[in-house]
Amino acid sequence: MKAEAVRPTAIPTTPPPPVAAESVIVIDPVSGRVLYAKNADQRRPVASTQKLVTALVAMDSNLDQSVTISADDERCEPTKLEMKPGEVHTRRELLRVLMVKSANDVGRALARDIGGSQEGFAALMNQKAAQLGMRNSHFINPHGLPQEGQFSTARDMAIAARSAWRSQTIRSFTSLQSTTFQHSDGRVKTLQNTNKLLKRVPYCDGLKTGTTDAAGRCLISSGTLGGRSAIVVVLKSTTPNIWNDSEKLLRWSLERPASEG
C-alpha cells in the first residue's frame, strides 16, 4: 500500500458535528495536534481498540517467526478464528487477521508466543504505552475483553493509534476490507473487516473496532484526503451511532477546501 504524502491538518473553521459517543478525540496524525476533544481523559474500557497496542508490541518482534497454536489460546469468547492446537502460522499472518477480524484467540496466541504468557505480554503492552506517553492507561490482556483494572482514555488511544497509523505494515492490514486465512489443514476462510467505515468512506484506511457491554461501541478510524489526514477516536457510542459519529467526524476533519489548510 503506497502512502499518500500528507501535510499537517489545521482545525476546521466549521464547528464539529454533534455526536452521541461519550468520549471522543480527533487528531492530526502528522503533527499530533488535537482538532476536537470531548471527555478525552475519562478512564473507561476500550474493548478491542486496545488491540492496536497489541499490534505495536508485535511489531517489535520478528513477524516472520512461526507460532504453534495451543489449546489455551482458544480460551476466550466471543470472536474466534477457531484455530486448532498444533496449527502453525507466522506472527505476521496472525497480526493481519487480528487487525481485520479482531479474533480474540489470535490475540491470545500472539501474546503467549511473544510475551511468554498473557501476563508477560500485558507487561509489554504497559511498557509500550509508557514509552508512547500514554499516561492514563493500564492493560491486562491483549484483546480488550473486560477485566477489572483495565482501562484507557480517548486521548491515550489516539496516541496509540497515531503510532499504529505510522506503521506501514499495520496500516496495510487495517485498510483491508477483507482477507483470507488458511488453516493448517487446508481450510480457507474469507474474513470481512469489522470496520464498516472502510466501505462507507472511500478514503478511510483503518483502524480498529471494539465492542463489549462495558465499553459500548468503540471505533478508531483514520483517513487521508487531499494531502491531509485525521484519526478519530469514538468510545462508548451506540448502534448505529458508532458508524455515524465516526463518519461525521472524519468527514468534518478532511472534507473541506484546500485553502483552509
Quickly state the pLDDT bin for 7 (edges 50, 70, 90).
Answer: confident
CA distances from 146 to 8, 46, 222 (A): 36, 9, 25
Quickly state the pLDDT bin for 108 (edges 50, 70, 90).
Answer: very high
9 found inside a domain? no
Q: What is the pLDDT of residues 239-254, one digit of tens each?
A: 889 999 999 999 999 9
High-pLDDT (> 70) share of the chain, %: 96
Reply yes or no on whether the pLDDT at 257 is more than 90: no
pLDDT of residue 5: 61
- pTM given for the model: 0.95
62 found inside a domain? yes
Q: What is the pLDDT of residues 132-142, one digit of tens each?
A: 999 999 999 99
8 found inside a domain? no
10 found inside a domain? no
Quickly state the pLDDT bin for 78 (edges 50, 70, 90).
Answer: confident
Nearest to 125 by CA among 152, 148, 146: 152
215 found inside a domain? yes
17 found inside a domain? no
Quickly state the pLDDT bin for 109 (edges 50, 70, 90).
Answer: very high
Tell me which residues are annotated as active site: 48, 51, 102
CA 152, CA 40: separation in Å to the nearest integer?
10
CATH number, domain with residue 41: 3.40.710.10
Reply yes or no on whether the pLDDT at 75 is more than 90: no
Interacting residues of 248 by C-beta distance below 8 A, sequence separation 6+: 17, 19
Q: What is the pLDDT of residues 145-192, one digit of tens each?
A: 999 999 999 999 999 999 999 999 999 999 999 999 999 899 999 999
Quickly state the pLDDT bin for 260 (edges 50, 70, 90).
Answer: low
Q: Give the least confident one: 68-77, 137-146, 186-195.
A: 68-77
pLDDT of residue 148: 97
CA 178, CA 253: separation in Å to the nearest integer?
26
pLDDT of residue 2: 47
Reply yes or no on whether the pLDDT at 259 is more than 70: no
Q: What is the pLDDT of residues 203-252, one digit of tens each?
A: 999 999 999 999 999 999 999 999 999 999 999 998 889 999 999 999 99
Interacting residues of 255 by C-beta distance below 8 A, sequence separation 6+: 225
Mean per-residue pLDDT over the chain, rounded: 94
Q: Give the least confident one: 12-16, 39-43, 52-56, 152-156.
A: 12-16
Q: What is the rounded average pLDDT of the residues 24-50?
A: 97
209 found inside a domain? yes
DSSP string covering 176-216, please? -SEEEEE-TTS-EEEEE-S-THHHHSTTEEEEEEEEETTTE
For residue 238, what are the domain limits? 23-260
Number of domains in the chain: 1
Number of C-beta neighbours around residue 129 at 10 A: 24
15 found inside a domain? no
